[in-house]
Amino acid sequence: MKNKKGPDFLIVGMERSGTSWIAALLNEHPDIACFPAIAFLKESGENSKDFGEMHLFNTLASLESDNENKFVRPISGYLTTHHKFFADLVSYENKIPKEELYKRFIHRYNELCDSKRGMKKLVGESTPAYVFHLDFIDSFYPMIKKICIIRDPKDKITSWHFNNIRKKRKADISISDKFIIDYCQKRIIAEYESLLAYKGKVHCLTYEGLTSNANEVIREILKYLEAKISEELIEDMINNASFQKLNAIDSGTIGRARGEESTKSHYRKGVVGDWKNHLTDKQAKVVDNMFLNIRKEVFSKYKVT
């Protein structure tokens, strides 16, 4: 097989924290291609050319012996998803050595990344579940650059709540204590623990920082990726990947301003601190106490400001 170059970087998480926003911003750079760069909800459309989040590494990790509680997906899922891009490889499961199967998937993934790259210098992909598989990713792409966006757990809970309602997974309008504890314990804490356990480098930023000081945060990302930087370029990235333009693509309308809510959109509201409208003071205190120490550890380790 002819080797393909594949991705130059990955956006690895966290869930409900702005990964699709980061992808859209980077894709607006003249030297960077990043996917999915538009609302991945469109991937199921018959005429869509977008693949959505690829979930490659958490899918391949389903074959590993230590895959419990790592949000893996079965390889069989590729039989019907992502325009069946990997579908023909699924039949090789349990028929060829695992390492050979990995090679075939990686080769195909490299082909996709190179097609997305086009004439640009860098290409990256975004899937939030990759945060659980950082060492596994390194086994295929040693020292590949990784970007992780972190968000206040209270806003993550609120966003996840509305995402579940949007996808008709839950009907409750209020956010219950059980819902909060389950999501924190099963997902959010695990994301922080994965970052703490990893011994490699990850460029971490916060949703709050990106919202309040986008120019500086984007400048640091571009510096990390060793990409061209200019104030005019950064302003263009911000304008072309604005909340209004992203939700306009998602809804097929002229788009909503940041803070203007639509519970039917992946880009629901796009603000910091919306948890105040949906969590009680007691619930907020419980969440803050739950993450007080682990957030400090992660922020210190990855020099997050």
What is the reported pLDDT for 39?
52
What is the reported pLDDT for 47?
43
**Packing angle of the helix pair 19-27, 243-251 (nearest 10 deg):** 100
What is the reported pLDDT for 43?
43
Domain that holds residue 106: 1-151+202-241
What is the pTM (predicted TM-score) of this model? 0.95
The domain tally of the chain equals 2
Where residue 64 sits, what CATH number does that domain have?
A: 3.40.50
Q: Let me know if residue 49 belongs to a domain.
A: yes
What is the mean pLDDT of the segment spanning 31-55?
Answer: 71
pLDDT tens digits along 108-125: 999 999 999 999 999 999
Please give the share of the chain, as a percent, with pLDDT higher than 70: 95
What is the reported pLDDT for 46?
40
What is the reported pLDDT for 249?
83
Same domain, 87 and 111: yes
Same domain, 54 and 187: no
The most confident of 3-17, 48-62, 102-116, 240-254, by mean pLDDT:
102-116
Residue 49 CB neighbour total at 10 angstroms: 9
Q: Let me know if residue 217 belongs to a domain.
A: yes
Same domain, 106 and 143: yes
Could you tell me the pLDDT band of residue 38, with boundaries at 50, 70 and 90?
confident
pLDDT tens digits along 206-226: 999 999 999 999 999 999 999
Same domain, 81 and 187: no
**Packing angle of the helix pair 281-301, 153-166 (nearest 10 deg):** 110
Q: Let me know if residue 92 belongs to a domain.
A: yes
Q: 227: Cβ–Cβ under 8 A, 6 or more apart, which residues?
A: 29, 31, 32, 121, 122
What is the reported pLDDT for 49?
57
What is the reported pLDDT for 162?
96
Give the domain-ending residue among 241, 262, 297: 241
Cα 252–chain centre separation: 23
Q: Both ends of the chain: CA-CA distance in Å?
A: 44
pLDDT tens digits along 235-245: 999 999 999 99
What is the reported pLDDT for 251?
78
pLDDT tens digits along 129-173: 999 999 999 999 999 999 999 999 999 999 999 999 999 999 888
Same domain, 176 and 236: no
One-character DSSP codes across 234-295: HHHHHHHT-HHHHHHHHHTSS---TT---TTSSS----S-GGGGTS-HHHHHHHHHHHHHHH
Which range (101-105, 171-175, 287-291) has the least confidence?
171-175
What is the mean pLDDT of the segment spanning 84-89?
Answer: 97
Q: Is the pLDDT of residue 270 over 60?
A: yes
Could you tell me the pLDDT band of residue 269, with boundaries at 50, 70 and 90?
very high
Same domain, 183 and 221: no
Q: DSSP 3-state assignment of 211?
A: helix
Q: Let me know if residue 18 belongs to a domain.
A: yes
What is the reported pLDDT for 42?
47
Same domain, 72 and 126: yes
Same domain, 44 and 188: no
Give the domain-ending residue among 241, 263, 291: 241
Could you tell me the pLDDT band of residue 253, with boundaries at 50, 70 and 90?
confident
What is the reported pLDDT for 4?
61
Q: Let me know if residue 52 belongs to a domain.
A: yes
Same domain, 41 and 158: no
Which range (2-11, 102-111, 212-221, 271-280) has the least confidence?
2-11
Q: Is the pLDDT of residue 3 over 60?
A: no
Q: Let me know if residue 46 belongs to a domain.
A: yes
Same domain, 102 and 8: yes
What is the mean pLDDT of the segment spanning 198-207?
Answer: 98
Q: Let me know if residue 227 belongs to a domain.
A: yes
Residue 22 CB neighbour total at 10 angstroms: 25
What is the mean pLDDT of the segment spanning 233-261?
Answer: 92
What is the reported pLDDT for 2?
47
Q: Let me know if residue 2 belongs to a domain.
A: yes
| Cα angle: 38, vertex 72, 154; to 5 degrees | 65
Give the domain-ending residue among 191, 224, 241: 241
Q: Which helix (H) or strand (E) holds 13?
A: strand 9-13
Same domain, 72 and 192: no
Same domain, 102 and 214: yes
User: What is the chain's mean pLDDT, rounded?
Assistant: 93
